Amino acid sequence: MSEMQKTIEIEVLRYHPEKDREPHRQVFEVPFTDDMSVLQGVQYIKDYLDGSLSFRWSCRMAICGSCGMMINGIPSLSCQTFLRDYYPARVRVEALAHFPIERDLVINMEGFIEKLESIQPYIIPKEERTLAQGEYLQTPEQLNAYEQFSSCINCLLCYAACPQFGLNSSFIGPAATALLHRYNVDSRDGGKAERMELINSEEGVFNCTAVGYCSEVCPKHVDPANAVNQNKTNSAADYFLRFLAPKGGAK
Amino acid sequence: MEIYKADVVIVGGGGAGLRAAIAVAEADPALRIALVSKVYPMRSHTVAAEGGSAGVKQASDSLEYHFNDTVHGGDWLCEQDVVEYFVAHCTEELTQLEHWGCPWSRTPDGHVNVRAFGGMKIERTWFAADKTGFHMLHTLFQTSIKYPSIKRFDEHFCVDLIVEDGRVQGVVAIEIASGEFTLVEARSVVIATGGAGRVFRENTNGGVVTGDGMALAYRHGVPLRDMEFVQYHPTCMPGTGLLFTEACRGEGGFLVNKDGYRYLQDYGLGPAEPTPRNKAMELGPRDRLSQAFWYEQQKGRTIEGPHGSVVHLDLRHLGEQKLRERLPQIYELAEQFMGVDPAHAPIPVRPAVHYTMGGILVDGRCAAPLPGLYAAGECSSVGIHGANRLGSNSLSELLVFGKVAGVEAARHARSVPAGDSARLLKQAQAVEQRVQGLKTKSGGSERIATLRKEMAQTMEDGCGIYRLADTMQKTCDKLDELKDRFRNVNVEDKSSVWNTEWLLAIELEYQLDVAQSMACSAIKRRESRGAHQRLDGFEQRDDVNFLAHSQAHYVAGGPPRIDYGPVRITKSQPGTRAYGAAGEKAEQERKASNV
């Protein structure tokens, strides 16, 4: 590192279950250039300062969803957060809030995977169609109804932002609700009634207290708060309809 | 050592691996499937594919056109019978994805829309805005959850194949969260681990793209075929190499040099028309466009930037509304990563490594020469890309051949008996001991990152867009040196939980093997074809000596042995590969001579 090289301090929350009783902070001094992402700063630490630092990353372009971290307390994708926005001050990097830490910046996301699996995140066809019959017709308006909710990259920033999830980790939460909604409003799908049973349950949408921070931190404009609140309405309608119709009432 | 008894194990949870898993589950729900992936499947690099996936859709198009585009684009180094099978199955597979919920972009009347792509005669690229790979991957992952016979081993890192009695019978993997080893017994193994672009310095690939499966098969004697053919994508972000999809040009974008001149017209791709015509100018194939960039740089007509020379990808004339609708991710990448608003300023771009055309040698049914082993997707060389892949053929390949690999692996699993578990375990324990050794040994002095950076630099120096014998030789020598130094690598972290330094060391060893297969295959190919271009007396294609697939055979402790296999020509005899007006003329002449 030449003397002229600008540097920036990155403070990392470290935790190693085989060695540490509790997390602690460690500060690293990293060469700084104007176009470096926080991820690149953390990679520099691993490559040249401390090979034992653990974190997830892959695509570097905000689509694989691996590299979510708390950056100065805000849930962020580290690949599209830039050191220049903090320089010359120190940047603080921690594992995503509200999840168990496996090691350093790596969280345990098994709970989210179980939620994702539980909502039947696949088309349950409204009407069967063979491949020989070609594609289902779906107008751009019909596509628009769900496209935004299909853009979730499962980065979990919304869970780190959600105060309710912080209190109750069994709450289905923003991303899984958005995905459920994505299938429910897809014109090809007929599985809404089955999925609504989950959303009406103890851990369903009514846990949400409409803070809206989930949508604010979402890097893909999925707007999960919107999905949650549409489902509150659906769920409320569904609640009353069940007195009239034999099963759930949703069509 | 944990033991899991499966019938079929699939290594890699990207597009090809997921499609294979679903194919096995549908072929026989009684088969136990293990899907082993070093990341959660939706993190796999399929996620980053942008532009689209090819399949004949329009009445004006035909399978013959798609076949010809692919074979010509591959500079006739394609297995033509396999290409024929491929083009005949793309549309059905894309339709299957539609039935599974993929949010394909639509025409106003509700049909799936298609866009133009480089080297394709007719618009046939299905797309989901500019996040096609993302949507395909999530659709496949979410659909796979329907099948109870698919048991996922997420964040399990595969360290070896188990070969016993002359056939592959399982894999050994590390559970990343605990550092514990698992033996997955299986009667068939499908490798679907993707490419190896990270062996080069400037590349579009995610960190996971380290050629793991290629190296595993190679070390067990399976040849890596056509490894010298590495695709440079012409429009990438300087420095990071992040991709600006070819769809930018499919939607009408221009490439201009420092004078604002559409320079591709100087390289046999013209004439320059206000809207790029299919197979001309900006819609030429990737190898030709990256080569044209190199010449512009030589002529001093590029622009100097902080991360090397650039040209401009100019999308301004498309207007903000169209850009937001068709290329939303590109818009955000330019804005957030470069501070460029593409509706009002051109995007600086340069070529970067994008795709490995070669891979694990398999036949048209995805079977490797090692019984029980199958491969699909970028890690494989099934033979459709030849010397240069056309954009939007690789996503279709994942589907078509992911399915084939799954069907064949299921058939094979039913046809052979289960192995001798005690002997498989003994082998697996030896693997564990060897892999643990990398971590437990002390006294190493080589930093992983230093070796990795030197490898990536020497690959760029010797195996770039244009190649020379002496620089390729230097690369081969350097790789020998790096493999030697790797024996002295230092893994500081001795712990078990999430020890990614250990995994990086294992990946680097995979990468060094794969890099060596590329460089040693490249120096032996004394001709220019597709993405392999030389400037040292071998500037022409040489069909007499090199209309042949290279095959790199692993040799322990030394460089690979290279030999050659035949290319299957069925319908299309090698001819002049031309684009733009020259291409149209050549096509007319071909038609006339056929009559």
Q: Among B207, B495, B498, whose Cβ lies nearest the Cβ of A58?
A: B207
CB atoms within 10 A of CB B72: 28
Q: Measure the CA–CA gap between B177 and B155, rounded to whole angstroms.
A: 8
The answer as to whether B278 is a domain residue is yes
Q: Please list the residues that pair with B309 across neighbouring strands.
A: B304
Nearest CA to A17 out of A97, A112, A107, A111 is that of A107
**Is residue B124 within 8 Å of B59, Cβ to Cβ?**
no
Number of structural domains (chain B) is: 1
Q: Among A103, A131, A139, whose Cβ lies nearest the Cβ of B106?
A: A139
Nearest CA to B459 out of B552, B352, B308, B310 is that of B352
User: What residues have CB less than 8 Å from B403, skipping those under 6 apart?
Assistant: B19, B20, B22, B23, B93
Measure B536 CA to nearest chain A CA, in Å. 36
Q: What is the arithmetic mean of pLDDT over B22-50?
A: 98
In chain B, residues with a C-beta closer than 8 Å to the C-beta of A131 are 92, 95-96, 99
The answer as to whether B245 is a domain residue is yes
What pLDDT does A230 receive?
85
Measure B127 CA to nearest chain A CA, in Å. 13
Q: Among A47, A106, A146, whose Cβ lies nearest the Cβ of B498?
A: A106
Smallest CA–CA distance from B491 into chain A, residue: A51
In chain A, residues with a C-beta closer than 8 Å to the C-beta of B138 are 150
Smallest CA–CA distance from A51 into chain B, residue: B501
Q: Does any CB of chain A come closer than 8 Å to the CB of residue B329?
A: yes
Q: At what angle do helices B421-440 and B500-524 cross, to 10 degrees?
A: 100
What pLDDT does A210 receive?
82
What pLDDT does B595 receive?
54
Give mean pLDDT in consecutive 10-residue pieces for chain A, a chain of 251 residues.
80 97 98 96 98 98 98 98 98 98 98 97 97 97 97 98 95 95 97 87 79 94 89 71 48 33
Measure A228 CA to nearest chain B CA, in Å. 20
Measure B211 CA to nearest chain A CA, in Å. 14
Q: Does any CB of chain A come closer than 8 Å to the CB of residue B149?
A: no
What pLDDT does A196 receive?
86
**Is residue A78 within 8 Å of A57, Cβ to Cβ?**
yes
What pLDDT does A242 receive?
54
CB contact under 8 A, A48 and B449: yes
CB contact under 8 A, A35 and B306: yes
How many CA within 13 A on the CB side of residue B400? Answer: 27
Q: Measure the CA–CA gap between A57 and A43, rounded to whole angstroms.
A: 9
Q: Where are the domains of chain A?
A: 7-107, 110-241
Q: What is the arithmetic mean of pLDDT over B301-317?
A: 97
Q: What is the arithmetic mean of pLDDT over B325-330?
A: 96
Q: Does any CB of chain A come closer than 8 Å to the CB of residue B3?
A: no
What pLDDT does A1 receive?
47
Q: Does any CB of chain A come closer than 8 Å to the CB of residue B208?
A: yes
CB contact under 8 A, B109 and A139: yes
Residue B104, pLDDT > 70, answer yes
Smallest CA–CA distance from A48 into chain B, residue: B449
Measure A243 CA to nearest chain B CA, in Å. 31
pLDDT digits (tens, 9 = 90+) for B482-513: 999 999 999 999 999 999 999 999 999 999 99
Q: Measure the CA–CA gap between B249 and B318, rounded to whole angstroms.
A: 10
Q: Does any CB of chain B come closer than 8 Å to the CB of residue A211?
A: no
- The residue range of the domain holding B248 is 232-353
B-contacting residues in A 43-82 (Cβ below 8 Å): 46-48, 51-52, 54-66, 80
Q: Which CATH number fits domain A7-107: 3.40.50.1100, 3.40.50.2300, 3.10.20.30, 3.30.70.2860?
A: 3.10.20.30
Q: Among A64, A135, A146, whose Cβ lies nearest the Cβ of B47?
A: A64
CA angle A108–A113–A119, rounded 5-degree value: 150
CB contact under 8 A, B110 and A123: no
CB contact under 8 A, A59 and B45: yes
Tokens of B73: 């684009």
Q: CATH code for A110-241?
A: 1.10.1060.10
Phi-psi region of A110 (alpha: psi -120 to 50; beta: other; left: phi over 0): alpha
CB contact under 8 A, A63 and B493: no
CB contact under 8 A, A150 and B142: no
In chain A, residues with a C-beta closer than 8 Å to the C-beta of B198 are none
Q: Does any CB of chain B come closer than 8 Å to the CB of residue A220?
A: no
In chain A, residues with a C-beta closer than 8 Å to the C-beta of B493 are 51-52
Q: Does any CB of chain A come closer than 8 Å to the CB of residue B333?
A: yes
Select the residue from A35, A64, A108, A133 to test the B interface by mutation, using most B Cβ atoms within 10 A.
A64
CB contact under 8 A, B332 and A62: yes
CB atoms within 10 A of CB B61: 18
CB contact under 8 A, B501 and A48: no
The answer as to whether B573 is a domain residue is no
Q: Does any CB of chain A come closer than 8 Å to the CB of residue B434?
A: no
Q: Among A58, A106, A150, whose Cβ lies nearest the Cβ of B206?
A: A58
What pLDDT does B91 receive?
98
Residue B127, pLDDT > 80, answer yes
Nearest CA to B394 out of B246, B249, B565 is that of B246
List residues of B with catalytic annotation: 233, 249
SS3 string, B71-116, reads HHHCCCCCCHHHHHHHHHHHHHHHHHHHHCCCCCCECCCCCECEEC
Select the residue from A135, A146, A150 to test the B interface by mutation, using most B Cβ atoms within 10 A.
A135
Residue B419, pLDDT > 80, answer yes
Lowest mean pLDDT among A3-17, B138-152, B224-238: A3-17
A-contacting residues in B 5-34 (Cβ below 8 Å): none
What residue has token string 């630490």? A45
The confidence band for B185, taking pLDDT boundaries of 50, 70 and 90, is very high
Q: Does any CB of chain B come closer than 8 Å to the CB of residue A35?
A: yes
Q: Measure the CA–CA gap between A53 and B427, rounded to whole angstroms.
A: 32
The answer as to whether B188 is a domain residue is no
A-contacting residues in B 504-543 (Cβ below 8 Å): none
Residue pairs spanning A and B at CB distance below 8 A: 155
What pLDDT does A239 receive?
59
B587 or A189, higher pLDDT: A189
Q: What are phi and psi of B533, to 5 degrees?
A: -120, 130
Burial bucket for residue B219 (CB in 10 Å: 0-12, 13-18, 19+):
middle
Smallest CA–CA distance from B143 into chain A, residue: A122
CB contact under 8 A, A63 and B40: no
Q: Does any CB of chain B come closer than 8 Å to the CB of residue A135?
A: yes
Q: Measure the CA–CA gap between B247 and A55, rounded to whole angstroms.
A: 33
Q: Among B106, B495, B501, whose Cβ lies nearest the Cβ of A138?
A: B106
What pLDDT does A240 receive?
58
Nearest CA to B164 out of B513, B410, B422 is that of B422
Measure A105 CA to nearest chain B CA, in Å. 10
Q: Does any CB of chain B come closer than 8 Å to the CB of residue A125?
A: yes
What is the rounded average pLDDT for all residues in chain B? Answer: 97
Q: Among B242, B336, B497, whose Cβ lies nearest the Cβ of A102?
A: B497
The confidence band for B175, taking pLDDT boundaries of 50, 70 and 90, is very high
